[in-house]
Amino acid sequence: MPRPSSALLLAGLLAGSAVAHAALPGPFDAMVPRSLPGRPRQWTYASGVAELALAAGVAHPRTRRTAALAAAVFFVGVLPANVKMAADARHGSPAARAATLARLPLQVPLVLWARSVSRNAAGR
């Protein structure tokens, strides 16, 4: 049986990340791949706005299915930033390397979670 709390937890995660992008943009700026046009701060704020919009969409039952599917796509889309972060940490401390490498496979459960929320919302 699907749990509405799963969708609300996903919305909370996205909203929390959006707030972090606005409140502490520096670490997010460092993750932006250099190949993207414009300044990293623009991408940091844009991704925060996207996360906030996704959070609102996932939180609302009427838009949950589409927003959760969009969140899954978003989680795949930010993978290059996580790869860049891991590559940048390769000369850092062992703890930094471990943390950034551990973060990479976390994208998979996030994508699967968002897809599950989307599927569970499809019949509503």
Q: What is the pLDDT of residues 86-101, one digit of tens each?
A: 888 888 889 888 888 8
What is 70-86 written as a DSSP string?
A: HHHHHHHHTHHHHHHHH
Compute how many other C-beta atoms are within 10 angstroms of the C-beta atom of residue 53: 17
Q: What is the pLDDT of residues 10-64, one digit of tens each?
A: 999 999 999 999 999 999 999 898 899 999 999 999 999 999 999 999 999 999 9
What is residue 1's predicted lDDT score, i.e. its pLDDT? Answer: 41
Q: Over the chain, what is the mean pLDDT?
A: 91
76 touches 107 (CB < 8 A): yes
Q: What is the pTM of this model?
A: 0.87
